[in-house]
Amino acid sequence: MVAPIPRDTINSQATVHAANAVVMVPPIDFKFNVETSADNEFQKSLTLSDAEIRTKALNEFYGMVELLRSHGVNVTVMDYSSEQGETPDAVFPNNWFSTSITGDIYLFPMACENRRREVRSDTLVKALRESGFKAPKVHSLGDLNAPKAFLESTGVMIMDHVNSTVYAALSVRCDRDLLQQYVNRAGFKEVIYFDTRMSSGSPVYHTNVMMAVGEGFAVICDEIIEEFERRRVLNSLQKTKDVISISEEQMGQFCGNILQLQNEKGERLIAMSLSAYNAFTLEQKRVLRQHGKLVPIDVSTIETIGGGSVRCMLGENFLPR
């Protein structure tokens, strides 16, 4: 089912930027993931049992599904069992696949062993076909089972489809060579990668917690980008975007982990967590509202324990029907 990406395959990216469909995976095995906590400083433990955590997480998940559907977004819920081992972070599917309007799905090598169990292309394709989408072509990037380098999809790559540009913060989870390989093969014109350093001294683990790009706006915690690279990133964004700079404290409230979508009527929405919404200033929210209706969602349990928020829970679906 899964074939390596042919070296001569170049899929030109369409100018459609805001997806009107998403894939979500319920947190049936959700709990604090010790493996990912090694470099994810956003994860925090709670004094709750695993059963209590999963109940809260499932309630937040299905509340989010219902809310997005009520706003006219097509949501495919991809469910699977734990027969192949627990998948505590399966609620964050955007880290292992991406889709394109050309009908392709790309699968990516994950850094943590227990996250590699999430990569189930047959289950994903079946769920998409049952939701009315054409059977996609499935490609893999690198070795998915025993990778020596990692590239965690739209967790580490922020895609500006309008300008055919990919932004990426380099880290253990974002290998520069794999990044360039994907950009070349998927038909993007430019990649802008950079180094980050948080106040702890560590790089940010995923670009999508510090940065989001919409059709006409960008949210970025530029203060954690190494100074000599910061201007290059901002200059690129400011050519076509309203740029909203957030602080590291706001990043910690997941203000960078937001996603612009569109509904069945073509109306723009910006999905974000309730904590992110509350952390944005009034002026920042005013600018964001020029680019879509703000949709705050309470996922406090998931984002506290999982170290990822609303954007991480959404696998954009650009596939044709």
Residue 124 has pLDDT above 60, yes or no: yes
- Average pLDDT of 22-49? 73
C-beta of residue 61 within 8 angstroms of C-beta of residue 90:
no
Q: Which CATH superfamily is domain 3-316 in?
A: L-arginine/glycine Amidinotransferase; Chain A (3.75.10.10)
CA distance 52 to 31: 10
Closest CA to 246 of 212, 272, 215, 214: 212
How sure is the predictor about 2, in pLDDT bands with cuts at 50, 70 and 90?
A: very low
Q: What angle do CA 118, 119, 125 make, to 5 degrees?
A: 115
Locus of tokens 């990912």: 36
User: Domain-by-domain residue ranges, the chain?
Assistant: 3-316
* Res 49: pLDDT: 87
Cβ contacts of 93 within 8 Å, gap of 6 or more: 23, 24, 25, 78, 118, 313, 315
What is the pairing mode between strands 157-160 and 190-194?
A: unpaired
pTM of structure: 0.91
What are the structure tokens assigned to 18, written together?
A: 């805001």
pLDDT in tens, 172-228: 999 999 999 999 999 999 999 999 999 999 999 899 999 999 999 999 999 999 988
The per-residue pLDDT for range 263-310, each reduced to its tens digit, is: 999 999 999 999 999 999 999 999 999 999 999 999 999 999 998 999
pLDDT at 32 over 80: no
Instruction: Provide the pLDDT confidence category of residue 45 given band limits of 50, 70 and 90.
Output: low
Q: Identify the band that residue 156 occupies on the pLDDT scale cut at 50, 70 and 90.
A: very high
Nearest to 125 by CA among 114, 136, 116, 115: 136
